[in-house]
Chain A
Amino acid sequence: MNFWFILFQDKRTEHKNYQTPTKISVNKSLNFYQQSNISNLISQIYNTIFAKNYTINIMPDISKLNDVVSQVRRDIVRMVHANSSGHPGGSLGCTEFLTALYFEVMNHNTKFSMDAKGEDVFFLSNGHISPVFYSVLARAGYFDVAELSTFRKLNSRLQGHPTTHEGLEGVRMASGSLGQGLSNAIGAALTKKLNKDDSMVYTLHGDGELQEGQCWEAFMYAAGKKVDNLIATIDYNQKQIDGSLDEVLPMGNLTAKLEAFDWIVLEEFQGNNIEAVINTLGRAKELAGNGKPVAIIMHTEMGNGVDYMMGTHKWHGSAPNDEQLADALAQNPETLGDY
């Protein structure tokens, strides 16, 4: 078994041309694999290696994806600036993640169907980072990018926080009042199982959001009831409105907590490196379907890509002025055309 595990590790590092940013608790992995019977184990590891090689053969065009990232960052700061309201910090911190999901990882159809049969689905639980969600949905083709200019304005489908109420393509659940998205995702994942639909359900949560008790009801349920078609990512920027996590309410060791809740936990230390994010999501997908839900603790930098917004919680919910906007745009080239 050690041999197979080493092979699995070797293959991973061999094909990575950047610093390996992720780790999986080895003990946990072994426990996980020990629980499987030997033929399953071999098949899992074979599939893992095969899937890796397959991924390598059709490596994503990172430079094109980074062009999307640059444009999405421009959209975010322009949308927030135009209203003098919105949440740029967390949006910028999750730009690579959402771009990776919608442009590389998920199997999804931009011809929107609420029921999402045969498609992967995504729930944004921390709805306040709506600017990045709207921009990525529009850039992916769900609706016209010109509509981004209506963000937070009267009669817009792009409400301050995402909603299904105005019929915006790509949104399947309202979010904003925190802590509800994981429960919603579990529901969608259970329906996929009933429908014999082997697609995945992805979520994103703020780290501060996990202070809401409902999240832990959902963590408990998903593991206890083996909802294993579910990958939940925690945006671990360690900041919230009133300050750092430690200042507001220390969260302790999130990895240990989620492992204690019987989730498979991956830790992604480079949440603003899109290639790293794609690889980690790929590994999460490989680990899914084995009786346990998968969580990714994704270390990100709030405000990433705009230097003066980084390293502080001050841009969680503040908008840049004209001069600051120009500064932010100068740091992020227009690649796909501004809306």
Chain B
Amino acid sequence: MEKKDTRSGFGAGLTVLGRTNPNVVALCADLTGSLKMNEFQNENPERFFQIGIAEANMMGIAAGMTIGGKIPFTGTFANFSTSRVYDQIRQSIAYSGKNVKICASHAGVTLGEDGATHQVLEDIGMMKMLPHMVVINPCDYNQTKAATIAIANHEGSVYLRFGRPAVPNFTPADQNFIIGKALHLQEGTDVTIFATGHLVWESLEAAKTLAEAGISAEVINIHTIKPLDSKAILSAVSKTKCVVTAEEHMLNGGLGDSIAQLLSRENPTPIEMVGVNDTFGESGTPMQLLEKYGLDAKAIVAAAIKAVARK
């Protein structure tokens, strides 16, 4: 399986937008290389804005640039795209209803060696709490590229979250990305695994192990955490009657939290959640950190066995 980083999917999508949509502009806070925005910058120097290390100013400028019809894409690390600038996003972008795409790389513990100062695990929660904010966490290079292109056609504020490490690139290159539409990756009858971001691949690996143990796991990719595809989730659960959620994010405020809210209202179902439980990350390699914080296939298998036992 070819491995590629999701941030490069963002860069490739942005390059396509640079060539196809003259209203797209890009802003970056001194992390152009890390965000893979160089190609857009080289091809469209007049539409690329190097803001410097001033993320608050970047969010405010992006909001202002929408007045007159531009579609700004901001790029920096996920931590600096959210927690550092939450009030600027809240007032100038979300409350003001601006058509800004907040594109955030290096999300979660897989940022790796830089450690907890940079490993944001609360961003999905913060962003999904903002009214009308769309929150997307694609799972591989191809899906990130497709999502980047798709959000340019969505009128409204969007948070697009992706990461640093090279991970298997397993979704089709020609996929049609539909915001808010869950993707069935594998059919199964005993348990449904709802996964987002880097943990989608881990869920597919887990499903193989579960199959060997005689458990038929359905794997559904929830790339859009908000708006949540409630219909697809409820339909799957009505069949398998137990659930695992998997995400590289804090349990509080993440995908599992959204699905638990939905199920407790509509169809109370045993649910096990794979995520980070009220702790900060630390330095290490991405794979070491996924293992230590229980964010890998092994953890998903254990959660699925537990969920099935609770039926």
Residues of chain A having any CB pair with chain B under 8 Å: 114-117, 121, 123, 163-165, 172-177, 179-192, 194-195, 197, 213-214, 217-218, 220-221, 224-225
Contacts and interface: CB of A to CB of B under 8 A. Distances in A.
Interface string B76-104: 00000000000110111001110000000
A221 B54 CA distance: 9
B92 A192 contact: no
Nearest to B87: A177
Interface of B is mostly: helix
Interface residues of B, number: 31
B131 to A, nearest CB: 9
Contacts of B309: none
A117 B96 CA distance: 19
A246 B116 CA distance: 39
B60 A187 contact: yes
A164 B92 contact: no
A177 B91 contact: yes
Given A164-B97, A184-B92, A214 B60 contact: yes
Contacts of A187: 60-67, 72
B57 A183 contact: yes
B46 A174 contact: no
A183 B56 contact: yes
B70 interface: yes
B56 A217 contact: yes
Contacts of B57: 183, 186, 214, 217-218, 221
Contact of A165 (B49, B51, B61, B96): B96
29 contacts: A115-B69, A123-B64, A164-B95, A173-B63, A174-B95, A174-B96, A177-B91, A179-B56, A180-B91, A183-B61, A183-B64, A184-B63, A186-B57, A186-B61, A187-B64, A187-B65, A190-B49, A191-B68, A191-B69, A191-B70, A194-B68, A197-B68, A213-B56, A214-B56, A217-B54, A217-B56, A218-B61, A220-B54, A221-B61
B64, B96, B97, most chain A CB atoms within 10 A: B64
Contacts of B49: 190, 225
Nearest to B46: A194
Given A172-B67, A186-B64, 18 more contacts: A115-B68, A116-B67, A173-B92, A175-B91, A180-B92, A183-B56, A183-B57, A187-B67, A189-B64, A190-B64, A191-B66, A191-B67, A195-B69, A217-B54, A217-B57, A218-B57, A220-B52, A224-B52
B36 to A, nearest CB: 23
Contacts of A214: 54, 56-57, 60, 88
B91 A190 contact: no
A182 B88 CA distance: 12
A117 B65 CA distance: 12
B25 interface: yes
Contacts of B95: 163-165, 174
B67 A114 contact: yes
B61 A190 contact: yes
Contacts of A172: 67
B299 interface: no
A121 B61 CA distance: 15
B52 A221 contact: yes
A194 B54 CA distance: 22
A165 B56 CA distance: 21
Closest 3 CB pairs of A and B: A187-B64, A183-B60, A191-B68
Nearest to B55: A217
A188 B68 contact: yes
Contacts of A224: 52
A36 to B, nearest CB: 24
B290 interface: no
B306 interface: no
B199 interface: no
Nearest to A172: B67
Given A180-B92, A194-B47, A188 B64 contact: yes
